[in-house]
Structure 1
Amino acid sequence: MQLRNRVIFDHKIALDTVPWRDDCASFRRFNPSSGVWTRKDTARAYNREGEKIYKEIEERLASSDLSRSNWCPGSQVLPYVMSIGELNKGTHQLEIDIDATPIDGDKLNHWLVSAYLTYEVE
């Protein structure tokens, strides 16, 4: 599910994005423990007379092939880097805001978030 992600620093939006990866199938070979199942699909083909026909086929699908929010199993996850400008001494507020998703039966939705702040002293 594509969800908006925001980083808000001192009540100003520092990042506003919808992270999404739809190229996860290209990393299947780096994730050998991925579950695999088959799904039915149709493929266009031609009969001996050259007429276009459609055949039902079974295609292998790995769980790691599915699109995900900013990561694919086996891929490198690049961080978002942003500047928050000059900071004055004192208390500041950092807020990470990710749109909520409803609980669907026994499927609990959660997000693992990590962040760090680095700075330079002149």
Structure 2
Amino acid sequence: MTLATHHKEPLQVLCEFFNLAWCHSHGGARVAARLLLSLYNSRRFPFELDELRCLDSQHLADALVLLEFDANLQKEVHDWLNHLFDRNDFGMRFEHLAHMWARKAKWDKCKKEYLHPVEPLKLVWKAGGAA
């Protein structure tokens, strides 16, 4: 798949990337987590562009969709996920994600002692919206 033939909706990609980062432990999941954390708060979680080289072509296309989507910011990524899934805990989930992937942050709210528990969650995207 080339970037020109990428047809996923940005919100679908956001959900899939969050699932990838939250539920998997391979290199692609690590890059997904780092990219999402940077979209969440780039000052705390900077993203090095050369990490994109670790992604397969499908995940690279998805990452570029997310970057373009975030460039036209209407809501923060955690707010989009809160809205899509009628929740209010995605900000804390991003802090957990940072802790899971041992991402050091300038203002380190992602230390274990600062994290509030979150219930298990798997995001499922159905054509036309979240489920």
TM-score, length-scaled by structure 2: 0.20
Q: Which has the higher contact order (CA 8 A, sep 6+)?
A: 1
TM-score, length-scaled by structure 1: 0.21
- Higher CA-based Rg: 1
